[in-house]
Amino acid sequence: MLMKIRLPRRAASGVRLLLPVVVWVMLFDALAVMAYGASPSSSPAFVVSGRITSSVDNQPIPGVNIIIKGTNTGTVSDADGRYTIDVPSRESVLVFTAIGYETQEVVVGERSVIDIALAESITSLGEIIVTGYGTQEKVSMTSAVGVVQSEELVRRPVTTLQQAMQGTVAGLTILDNGGSPATPNHQILIRGVNTLYSPPGQAPTGTSDIGNNQPLVIVDGIEQPFQNINPEDIESVSVLKDASSTAIYGSRANNGVILITTKRGKEGKVTVSYSGFYAIQRAISVPEHMDIESYLRLQNDARINVGSAPLYTEEYIQNYVAGTRTNPLKYPLPFDWHNTLFDEAPQINHSISISGGSENFKARASVRVQDQDGIIANTNAKTNDFRLNTDFKVSSRINIATDLNYRHQNTLEPHNINEIFRQLMQNSIWAVPRYPNGRTESSATTSREA
């Protein structure tokens, strides 16, 4: 059934004005649909498969990552080196990556089967490692050697090489037992403890009663103390960890060998580099006292366990606990000496180096100024280092290398500082540092004895 609708004259004129606009909108939509339908990106996804092998021996490579470039879509090759991946368009780029092989990118195009032969990466295998008898490429190494480059050593703001090397080489254990400024107490072990006990008459070097397990440290062919080297001057560190090092250095290499190569001048323009830091040190091991009643009872338990009579009676324990509240000068609580003696301490380090040279002469000079306070008052160390490495080529057969290293150190610490810590931990538990009348514990003791 047809119906005629008669519009008012004013409405009819409005429709006639809008009609061209409606026609243009419909035409634009039709063109957009046609363009979209003709776009390559609208083509349906298709499957690409293939096999990945090594270019050296043509063996399959499992575990290769295949990713569509610019997306997070990817897959991994199986044990036979085969893979399958859904690709959205012919212009997609597949990226093949695997550890030890060069990364390869391939445009899909019209192919549905893409076989890839990956080339081995020779960057890490060609790395030069310093050994006791010269240098050797990593690919031909047969002994156990750990290598640390200079970039890793200067990553942390520390003052000693031992601290910089902590956690950098497998099998190398560096125990930081604390110590005064410029006199660190580090214990270095390569593959565990090799010497169990110290020889008779020789004091142990570590904090526990074990023998001397310190490795042999060689700096540019000369034996030097480990702690006297500026980390900024080091090019690389090689750690010889197995028995093959004894064939070079003899019995002194029983605990392993650490070979340090310092930086030298390079041919080219003169370069100047600076490195510095400001740091705050604080104590990280601050024990807390137990309550007084538990301490007295544990003292009794310790004596009973060794077959002795208890030291404190029950009446004494109860009287002491009550006296800490009524008469704390006569019955003092344990005094918190750690928070009294320990304080935050700053350390400042400045290092500057100048390097350069020509084909026949190259040199590198470096200076370090270090100022380190201790966390105990009146402990400080000021260190000045100077190193000059030069290489002079006399002829095609004669090369002269000279190394100069100057170190000056000024340390400040109380006399017999180790005794201070022993007294702090053991003999001053019940001390009253200062009485209300201003007298100290020592003067009050002297007066009582008089």
Would you give per-residue pLDDT tens digits along the chain (450 residues)? 434 445 445 444 444 544 454 445 454 444 444 443 444 444 457 899 999 998 888 889 988 989 999 888 889 888 889 999 999 988 899 999 987 788 999 999 889 899 999 988 755 545 555 555 455 444 334 455 678 888 888 777 777 787 788 888 877 888 777 677 877 777 777 777 666 555 545 554 444 445 567 788 888 888 887 777 888 898 888 888 776 667 777 777 778 888 888 999 988 899 999 999 899 988 887 777 788 899 899 999 999 999 999 999 999 999 999 998 898 888 888 777 777 888 899 999 999 999 999 989 999 999 999 999 988 888 999 999 999 999 999 988 899 999 999 999 998 988 887 777 777 777 666 777 777 766 665 544 444 443
Helix (H, G, I), strand (E, B) or coil at 91: coil
Amino acid at the residue 173 = T
How many Cβ atoms from other residues are within 10 Å of residue 165's Cβ?
A: 24
Nearest partner of 375 among 179, 97, 172, judged by Cα = 179
Q: What is the CATH number of domain 46-118?
A: 2.60.40.1120
| Closest alpha carbon to 370 in 219, 206, 193, 182 | 182
- Given a contact cutoff of 8 angstroms between Cβ atoms, the answer to whether 223 and 174 are in contact is no
The rounded distance, in Å, linking the Cα atoms of 196 and 140 is 34
Tell whether the torsion through CA atoms of 436, 437, 438 and 441 is positive or negative: negative
Rounded CA separation 50/82 (Å): 6
The reply to whether CATH 1.10.3720.10 applies to domain 128-262 is no
Closest CA relative to residue 352, chosen from 375, 330, 371, 369: 369
| Farthest CA pair distance, the chain | 132
| 14: enclosing H helix or E strand | helix 9-38
Sign of CA dihedral 415, 385, 184, 335: positive
Amino acid 35: pLDDT? 40
Enumerate the β-bridge partners of residue 275: 351
The pair of structure tokens assigned to 284 is: 């990280």
- Write down the pLDDT at residue 137: 47
- Residue 94: exposed, middle, or buried by beta-carbon count in 10 A (0-12, 13-18, 19+)? buried
pTM more than 0.85: no
> Residue length, the chain?
450
Burial degree of 128 (CB within 10 A; 0-12, 13-18, 19+): exposed
- 159 in Cβ contact with 232 (< 8 Å): no
Q: Are the C-beta atoms of 133 and 144 separated by less than 8 Å?
A: no
Residue 255 contacts residue 190 (beta carbons within 8 Å): yes
Q: Which of 91, 88, 86, 85 is nearest to 64 (CA)?
A: 85
Instruction: Break the chain into its structural domains and give their ranges.
Output: 46-118, 128-262, 268-283+348-413, 293-341+418-449
Please report how many Cα atoms fall inside a 13 Å half-sphere around the Cα of residue 255, on the Cβ side: 18
In this prediction, residue 128 carries a pLDDT of 52
**Res 36: pLDDT:** 39
Sign of CA dihedral 408, 413, 416, 420: negative
Torsions phi, psi for 371 (to 5 deg): -130, 115
